[in-house]
Amino acid sequence: MGIGSRIAVIGSSGAGKSTFSRLLGEITGLPVVHLDRLYWHPGWVQTPREQWVEAQRETIEQDKWVIDGNYGSTMDMRLEAADTVIFLDFPRTLCLVRALKRRVQYHGRTRPDLGEGCEEKMDLEFLKWIWDFPKRERGNILSRLDAASQRGKAIVHLRSPRQTDEYLRSLRERES
């Protein structure tokens, strides 16, 4: 089970992409880039489209990285540059529970994977995004992953926290 040096981590909000990516970076020594940190500015101000694309282009031109985040409009450029794609494909209820837990944990503060000045928040629209993710996004992601696989990309499809823990444990054992 080899792992590359350019890894894209995708999945629903609340799946644990940022935590997984941080642990993956610790195990592999690869630098970790959280897309939410690049995209959001203080007060939850979005990066303008041209700057957003350019920031990602500069990031994926690097030799080594772990990038976590979906951002479907720019996902293809990351999938093309990655040699490994990891899809955290967890049940929506688990993602909702994790997002709610995160909201409580970081109440009034900014998460480490977000830009400064973006205090943790949650609204009905965000919860609906998580709930609808499997029917709205999952099929498209699976199609993109199938195409990436046909282009020689390594695809790791993890469907549970247990599989994720086992995967990270196997990487730790291999790296030590």
pLDDT tens, position by position, 124-158:
999 999 999 999 999 999 999 999 999 999 999 99
Residue bearing the bigger pLDDT, 70 or 159: 159
Closest CA to 63 of 17, 150, 4, 9: 4
Q: Mean pLDDT over residues 104-131, rounded?
A: 83
Pick the CATH number of 6-175 from 3.40.50.300, 1.10.4160.10, 1.10.760.10, 3.10.590.10: 3.40.50.300
Contact 154, 86 (CB under 8 A): no
Q: What percent of the chain is predicted at pLDDT more than 70?
A: 99
pLDDT of residue 22: 96
> What single DSSP character describes residue 6?
E
Give phi and psi for 172, each to the nearest 5. -60, -45
Euclidean distance between CA atoms 32 and 62, whole angstroms: 12
Euclidean distance between CA atoms 90 and 97, whole angstroms: 12
pLDDT of residue 109: 75
The model's confidence at residue 86, banded by pLDDT at 50, 70 and 90, is very high
Instruction: Return the domain boundaries, the chain.
Output: 6-175
Burial class (CB in 10 A: 0-12, 13-18, 19+), 2: exposed
Is residue 1 scored above 60 in pLDDT?
Answer: no
pLDDT of residue 2: 61
How far lies 24's CA from each of 17, 18, 21, 29, 44, in Å? Answer: 10, 10, 5, 8, 27
pLDDT tens, position by position, 2-50:
688 999 999 999 999 999 999 999 999 999 999 999 999 998 899 999 9
The model's confidence at residue 107, banded by pLDDT at 50, 70 and 90, is confident
Question: By three-state DSSP, how is residue 94 classified?
Answer: helix
Angle in degrees, CA 44, 11, 145, rounded to 5: 125
Contact 111, 102 (CB under 8 A): yes
Q: Mean pLDDT over residues 70-90, rounded?
A: 95
